[in-house]
Amino acid sequence: MVPNAYEAASRGAWKQEYIEKYLPLVKRIAGRLLISLPSHVDEDDIIGYGVFGLLDALERFEAARGLKFETYASIRIRGAMIDGLRTMDWVPHSARQKVKRVQEGFADLEYRLGRAVTAEEVAEHLKMEVREIEGTMAQAQILTLTSFDEISVDGEGENNFTPHNLLVDPNAQAEFQVIEKEEQKQLLALAVDKLPDKEKLVVALYYQEELTLKEIAAVMKLSESRISQLHSQAILRLRGRLSRQKQHLI
């Protein structure tokens, strides 16, 4: 049935009311995503994508499922923002390969030296210019649109290592997955503990305290671009270390 003009107007007013109510939520999610984005990205564009996600949440939400609307909306808003960003495709395949090379360079050198290394040391190790290393880390920012619960020991967001004999026993497989997940958390905690102090603080403020990019910059008295760079370096180190740990496990 086609709604009449009164119904359409009422529905429009209802949507506008909820958009205004939850716009601060959209802005906060955008503020947190900015830590993984190049400095030239317009925050208003991210917020615009988020509003589409909010509208989608308003259309699809079912209170009977027992989920809070804010929780459901946050998932939809963040998903819409990331989908919108991915359509821009800033990072070509060649750049992705370079990011992987730099990530592995950090991991190899830190494993060899037993400590956190600098961009200058990695540049020398890989026979690259320092500015090329720094440029690669800047390109990597868009690739770090992830949270720690999506990082596993292979550094790609999922872990397919399962002993073959467990595949025939669902109960044993489920038990193994619980143990494996706990081991991954422990590996991640150890990897985070080995980060340089500033990177460790950024990780704590972002993932534990859930601050936005601007808030972290204010706390640490550094520019937003510097905070974003520290976050990218931390993620590169962590992915490299966890990937190396997986190679040792298998």
CATH of the domain at 77: 1.10.1740.10
3-state secondary structure of 180: helix
Give the range with max mean pLDDT: 1-5, 161-165, 222-226, 237-241.
222-226
Claim to verify: residue 99 and residue 44 sit in the same structural domain: no
CA geometry: angle at 25 spanning 38 and 16, to 5°?
Answer: 115
As a whole number of angstroms, the distance between CA 12 and CA 74 comes to 22
Residue 69 near residue 50, CB atoms below 8 Å: no
- Those residues with Cβ within 8 angstroms of residue 83's Cβ, 6 or more apart along the chain or in another chain: 49
Label each residue of 143-170 as H, E or C. HHCCCHHHCCCCCCCCCCCCCHHHHHCH
Claim to verify: residue 97 and residue 81 sit in the same structural domain: no
Claim to verify: residue 148 and residue 193 sit in the same structural domain: yes
Choice between 227 and 178, residue whose per-residue pLDDT is larger: 227
Q: Of the residues 86, 115, 144, which one is the last residue of a structural domain?
A: 86
- Number of folded domains that form the chain: 2
What is the per-residue pLDDT for 92?
A: 63
As a whole number of angstroms, the distance between CA 167 and CA 162 comes to 8
Claim to verify: residue 42 and residue 119 sit in the same structural domain: no
Nearest to 74 by CA among 139, 8, 16, 26: 26
pLDDT in tens, 132-182: 888 787 777 666 664 444 443 333 443 333 333 333 444 444 544 555 566
What is the per-residue pLDDT for 235?
A: 86
pLDDT in tens, 14-38: 678 888 999 999 999 999 988 878 7
CA geometry: angle at 50 spanning 45 and 56, to 5°?
Answer: 140
Of 6-10, 23-27, 238-242, the poorest mean pLDDT is in 6-10
Q: Of the residues 61, 86, 111, which one is the last residue of a structural domain?
A: 86
Q: Which domain holds residue 156?
A: 93-249
Claim to verify: residue 18 and residue 140 sit in the same structural domain: no
pLDDT > 70: percent of the chain: 70
Claim to verify: residue 101 and residue 222 sit in the same structural domain: yes
Q: Of the residues 50, 69, 86, which one is the last residue of a structural domain?
A: 86
Distance from the Cα of residue 235 to its chain's centroid: 9
114: DSSP letter = T
